[in-house]
Amino acid sequence: MDLLNAVVALLNFVVIPATAYGAQLALGALGVTLIYGILRFSNFAHGDTMALGTGFVILVTWWLQSMGVTFGVLPTAFLALPFGIAATAAVVLLTDRSVYRFYRKQRAAPVILVIVSMGVMFVMNGVTRFVIGVDEIRFADGAKFLINANEFKQSTGLAEGLAFKASQAQTIVTAIAVVALLFWFLNKTRTGKSMRAYSDNEDLALLSGINPERVVAVTWIIASGLAVIAGTLYGLDKSFKAFNYFQLLLPIFASAIVGGLGSPLGAIAGGFLIAFSEVGFTYAWKKVATYVLPESLAPDGLAQLLSTDYKFAVSFAILIVVLLFKPTGLFKGKAV
């Protein structure tokens, strides 16, 4: 029995990584859910918007680094973030103008818009690969660790090390700030209120003089901002690879649906639920179990429920269970 070491191991391998990953998923799912609430379709291009935006951020980061500009202990990518968001928002608004608006005017069925977003996904995927390539890119600089595993071991005398990567701390702090800002915007400002009104009842909102094109444009800008931030944080924490961002689509959608499509609070809850289940199911619990259980009960194998290659299966299973038993999600999303 060694509870302290067990707690440290749990923090190190499960709680901290899952919290950071959950924050990244939540930011991604917020974008999906906002677009669903206002534009009423599932945007399949969201993963590739994240990839494209992160690509812009990486390019600006490289340019800043070549000019000798860095951001001290923080990664230079944070300086590049506003440029990345601006560029991505411009691309997305241009896409809306040239592609989506036509179908909106026609009041096309949501499934047609989903197929259209698939076309946009193709183009964005190609552009990302064209601009930045398919290779894995690491662009994190600045301080690496907030708490270093070895130093932690030495200073506490525990057998287990606790590593808290700077990228994880940055992810969590940024996510809290962004979410607070988003909720303030949606609940307190005039534009935010008009967005919520439009999402609740389109016809009523139009009658009260809300300009739909403006609401849509603001939604796209916010969604691309969220996508670029989520993508950059994910890239800083792990690494950037265009195809991985496409694959993030499934956990992101699962988060948004589990929380209830169209519900921002639900997207955040869903993101953390998916992240913790993914990490929990694929983590090898042997280490924690050996600390907690008496020696005779300690497991022989890795005590891993699923191999990490099946992490999609976890988000998928949660998705199916929620859809079967609570089809509008945990936080009462909308069903179009």
Partner 1 sequence: MNMRNILLFAGMALLIVLEGSTTFGGLFGGSWNTALFILNFGLLSAIMALGVNMQWGYAGLFNVGVVGFIALGGLAPVLIATPPVTEVWTTGGVGRLIFALIVGAGVIALAITLNHRLRGKVRLVALCVTLIGGFFLYRALFDPAVEVIEAFNPATNSNLGGLGLPVLLAWPVGAALAAGAAWLIGKTALGLRSDYLAIATLGIGEIIIATLKNEDWLARGVKNVIGIPRPVPYEVDLQSSSGFIEFAARFGADPVVASTIVVKLLYAVLFLVVLLVLITASELALRSPWGRMMRAIRDNEVAAEAMGKNVTGRHLQIFMLGSAVCGLAGAMMVTMDSLHNPGTYNPLRFTFLIWVMVIVGGSGNNWGAMLGGFLISFLWLKVESWGPAGLEYLTSGLDPASPLREHLKDSAAHMRLIALGLVLLLVLRFSPRGLIPEK
Q: How far is the CB of 91 from partner 1 (least distance, A)?
A: 13
- The answer to whether 298 contacts partner 1 (rule: CB under 8 A) is no
Q: What is the C-alpha separation between 5 and 64, in angstroms, rounded?
A: 42
The only residue of 63, 90, 119, 191 in contact with partner 1, by rule CB under 8 A: 119
- The answer to whether 336 contacts partner 1 (rule: CB under 8 A) is yes
The only residue of 38, 52, 77, 121 in contact with partner 1, by rule CB under 8 A: 121
- The answer to whether 310 contacts partner 1 (rule: CB under 8 A) is yes
> Considering only residues 41-100, where is the footprint of partner 1 by CB under 8 A?
41-42, 44, 99
- The answer to whether 283 contacts partner 1 (rule: CB under 8 A) is no
Check residue 28 and give left, alpha or beta (phi > 0: left; psi -120 to 50: alpha).
alpha
Stretch that binds partner 1, among 23-31, 72-80, 194-202, 243-251 (CB under 8 A): 243-251
The only residue of 122, 144, 150, 213 in contact with partner 1, by rule CB under 8 A: 122
Window 98-117: contact mask with partner 1 (x via CB under 8 A): -x--x-------xxx-xxx-
CA angle 268, 269, 275 (to 5 degrees): 90
Output 158 or 306, the one with its CB closest to partner 1. 306
- The answer to whether 130 contacts partner 1 (rule: CB under 8 A) is yes
Stretch that binds partner 1, among 59-67, 178-186, 212-220, 248-256 (CB under 8 A): 248-256
- The answer to whether 207 contacts partner 1 (rule: CB under 8 A) is no
Stretch that binds partner 1, among 23-31, 72-80, 170-178, 315-323 (CB under 8 A): 315-323
Q: How far is the CB of 136 from partner 1 (least distance, A)?
A: 16
Output 150 or 247, the one with its CB closest to partner 1. 247
Which residues sit at the interface with partner 1, rule CB under 8 A?
Answer: 41-42, 44, 99, 102, 110-112, 114-116, 118-127, 129-131, 133-134, 246-247, 249-250, 253-254, 257, 261, 301, 305, 307, 309-310, 312-313, 315-316, 319-320, 323-324, 327, 335-336
